[in-house]
């Protein structure tokens, strides 16, 4: 988060499944006040004693926005960071167009610059990778907390763009982000304008033992809950996509809504189910 910027986000208010507040370090009080007003969440100055009694906090600091768990022995903070860390490492060393994500959406096999709708953006990581591979990406996320993290991460990445070079800057010129429910968005959108690819990575309840699930994912699942309408979203996506719908799933999970895909690409822990509608034009 830029220390003097207002958060230019139009939040859609959705139910938050667990108690959460906003906390701030002293130098970030003005920005925290803006966020608290938009999210309609209680505001506290950060302290380790957790006087808020909340389970989670959205911490406003010079590093940006972070979700922190306020209980003992909790996992580390969650943020949306495209400049460094795992997302940027994946951009640089994640296999490029040979990785399964690129193959699943058709980037590897197509010379066309694809327009991809990521309807369950989460923390924006897959959308960022798709844009780094040349696709134009519209990311949608309905959860207000995740939306705040994405907007902050995009803002900081765009501000850092000049120092990171032209190629890095151009990635964010290809990304548009909207904080809205995807089903509502598609129902309002012009049905004649179809994205080439629709990408879904819905949140599901934890079914594996905790040791098999990343601590970060556990925290998000507890905080945000699961996407109970993912089956309806798949059906609508099949109507609106031009070439294919891609669904990211845990490796051993059932097909979404028990709908058989055209084919799947399997990795170590995840699987991409591809629902082909017609051949991607070159």
Please state the pTM of the whole predicted model: 0.88
Q: Provide the pLDDT for residue 18.
A: 53
Distance CA 166, CA 159 (A): 13
Partnered with residue 245 across adjacent β-strands are 198, 275
* CA 102 centroid distance within chain: 17
Q: Provide the pLDDT for residue 166.
A: 83
Nearest CA among 246, 240, 77, 48 for reference residue 152: 77
Which ranges in 73-140 belong to alpha helices (H)? 85-93, 100-105, 125-132
Q: Provide the pLDDT for residue 206.
A: 60
What is the length of the chain? 282
Q: Are 67 and 58 in contact, with CB atoms under 8 Å apart? A: yes
Q: Provide the pLDDT for residue 88.
A: 86
Cα–Cα–Cα angle for 66, 102, 165, nearest 5°?
60
Which class is 85-276 in CATH?
alpha beta
Q: Return the DSSP state at 26.
A: G
Give the sheet arrangement for strand 56-61, strand by strand.
Answer: 43-45, 20-24, 56-61, 64-69
Q: What is the CA radius of gyration of the chain?
A: 19
Q: Provide the pLDDT for residue 251.
A: 93
Q: Provide the pLDDT for residue 55.
A: 83
Distance CA 118, CA 198 (A): 6
Residue 128 CB-half CA count within 13 A: 25
Q: How far is CA 222 from CA 18, 159, 217, in A?
A: 7, 32, 9
Question: Coil, strand or helix: which one is 117?
Answer: strand
Q: Return the DSSP state at 134.
A: T
List per-block mean pLDDT (blocks of 10 residues) for the chain, which spans 282 residues: 39 54 92 94 83 83 90 78 90 90 90 93 96 97 94 94 85 97 95 94 67 66 79 97 97 95 96 97 75
Q: Provide the pLDDT for residue 52.
A: 63
């Amino acid at each position: 988060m830029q220390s003097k910027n207002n958060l230019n986000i139009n939040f859609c208010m959705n139910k938050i499944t667990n108690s959460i507040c906003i906390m701030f370090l002293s130098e970030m009080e003005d920005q925290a006040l803006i966020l608290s007003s938009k999210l309609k969440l209680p505001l506290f100055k950060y302290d380790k004693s957790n006087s808020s009694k909340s389970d989670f906090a959205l911490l406003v600091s010079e590093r940006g926005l972070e979700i922190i768990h306020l209980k003992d022995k909790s996992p580390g903070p969650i943020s949306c960071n495209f400049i460094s860390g795992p997302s940027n490492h994946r951009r640089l060393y994640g296999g490029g167009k040979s990785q399964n994500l690129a193959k699943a959406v058709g980037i590897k096999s197509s010379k066309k610059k694809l327009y991809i709708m990521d309807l369950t953006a989460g923390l924006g990581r897959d959308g960022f990778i798709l844009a780094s591979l040349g696709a134009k990406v519209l990311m949608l996320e309905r959860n207000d907390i995740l939306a705040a993290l994405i907007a902050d991460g995009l803002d900081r990445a765009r501000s850092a763009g000049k120092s990171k070079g032209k190629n890095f800057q151009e990635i964010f010129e290809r990304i548009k982000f909207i904080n809205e429910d995807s089903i509502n968005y598609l129902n309002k959108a012009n049905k004649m304008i179809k994205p080439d690819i629709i990408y879904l990575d819905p949140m599901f309840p934890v079914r594996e033992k905790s040791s098999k699930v990343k601590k970060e994912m556990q925290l998000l699942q507890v905080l945000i809950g699961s996407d109970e309408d993912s089956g309806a979203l798949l059906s609508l996506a099949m109507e609106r996509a031009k070439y294919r719908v891609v669904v990211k799933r845990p490796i051993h999970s059932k097909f979404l809504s028990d709908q058989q895909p055209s084919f799947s690409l399997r990795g170590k822990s995840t699987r991409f189910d591809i629902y082909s509608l017609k051949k991607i034009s070159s």
